[in-house]
A = this chain, B = another copy of it.
């Protein structure tokens, strides 16, 4: 992994992925006690940064390999990113999802052009099913984070942050990033180290699922005790990746941890002050910036708002609880 791979991904993404702006509000600055700049990846195609990695990976394949199609295991943002990237390349995609995935997510992924293959969590082996499909059809597996081209794609977000922060006059700041397996955090860390070394990538996770923060503290890959049960489902993984962790350890951290309630409150703040829609997992970095100011250094902070694919019910809950007091 190096900056050249990220630059190459950026060249392939140009005109296909969206350059998201950098947003701010004097109300958020006052809450945080410093300038807050927000990178709204919820405005990216398919509603999250995952489209960057999906496009980077699909576009990197040789033509004849790509033409046979791609496969991914995901019921969430990665599924949508890969499905859309494949459809825009005119190649098939197969997305393997548990049969109990939300119907809306299944329908959306199909509508984005994917063939959705459902499996029963209790009786079927997902990996064996995927391997068989890939073998039979010659599909290429696109992993969600521990894959260099995916990391390179997510890193293009970091290239944009480097340019946009400089335009805002910010050369030294923590860059807070919602972190699951670490694809986005490690990609941004690589981009910043090369293009804006005063900006430091720091992963943010929800309480109880702070595998990356603990891994960065101990220096080795740690695992979460639980793998489900968080409203921040978009960023829950067993542990940081074998490719992503060394990058984060070398270039980023330390990690920050917020509560689910703080994530909901940050969703309401983003609604009120930035007019963007965030999902809980996409709001944890903004939550850290707003409600843990003592854990951040410097006169400005940059928070990546990584996704906005949230059900109306959950969004209403955030507004019910914090719409008058974000």
Q: Is the CB of A84 within 8 A of B26?
A: yes
Q: Out of B21, B268, B315, name the residue touching A21 (CB < 8 Å).
A: B21
Taking the closest CB of chain B, its distance from the CB of A69, in whole angstroms, is 19
Residues in B neighbouring A316, C-beta threshold 8 A? 316, 319-320, 323
Q: Say whether A180 faces chain B, with CB atoms less than 8 Å apart.
A: no
Q: List 28 A-B contacts (CB under 8 A).
A: A15-B167, A18-B21, A18-B23, A19-B21, A20-B21, A21-B43, A26-B84, A26-B111, A27-B108, A27-B111, A40-B43, A40-B275, A43-B274, A43-B275, A268-B312, A271-B277, A271-B312, A271-B315, A275-B276, A275-B277, A275-B308, A276-B276, A276-B277, A277-B277, A312-B319, A312-B324, A315-B319, A316-B323
With known contacts A21-B19, A26-B84, A43–B319 Cβ distance under 8 A: no
Q: Out of B42, B84, B320, B323, name the residue touching A275 (CB < 8 Å).
A: B42
Q: Is the CB of A26 within 8 A of B271?
A: no
Residues in B neighbouring A272, C-beta threshold 8 A? 312
Q: Say whether A112 faces chain B, with CB atoms less than 8 Å apart.
A: yes
Taking the closest CB of chain B, its distance from the CB of A179, in whole angstroms, is 20
Chain A interface (Cβ < 8 Å from any Cβ of B) = 15, 18-21, 23, 26-27, 30, 40, 42-43, 47, 84, 108, 111-112, 167, 268, 271-272, 274-278, 308-309, 312-313, 315-316, 319-320, 323-324
Taking the closest CB of chain B, its distance from the CB of A22, in whole angstroms, is 9
Q: Give the number of times this chain occurs in the complex, counting copies.
A: 2
Bound state CA distance, A20 and B84, in angstroms?
Answer: 23
User: In chain B, what residue has the closest Cβ to A309?
Assistant: B275
Bound state CA distance, A15 and B15, in angstroms?
Answer: 23
Residues in B neighbouring A18, C-beta threshold 8 A? 21, 23
Bound state CA distance, A316 and B271, in angstroms?
Answer: 12
Taking the closest CB of chain B, its distance from the CB of A266, in whole angstroms, is 14
Bound state CA distance, A47 and B27, in angstroms?
Answer: 12
Bound state CA distance, A261 and B296, in angstroms?
Answer: 44
**Known contacts A40-B43, A275-B309; 18 further A-B pairs (Cβ under 8 A):** A15-B167, A20-B21, A26-B111, A26-B112, A27-B111, A30-B111, A40-B275, A268-B312, A271-B277, A271-B312, A271-B315, A272-B312, A275-B276, A275-B278, A312-B319, A312-B324, A315-B319, A316-B323
User: In chain B, what residue has the closest Cβ to A318?
Assistant: B312
Bound state CA distance, A309 and B20, in angstroms?
Answer: 21
Taking the closest CB of chain B, its distance from the CB of A325, in whole angstroms, is 11
User: In chain B, what residue has the closest Cβ to A41?
Assistant: B275
Interchain residue pairs A-B with the least CB separation, the first 5:
A312-B323, A275-B308, A42-B275, A275-B277, A312-B319
Bound state CA distance, A315 and B271, in angstroms?
Answer: 10
Taking the closest CB of chain B, its distance from the CB of A40, in whole angstroms, is 8
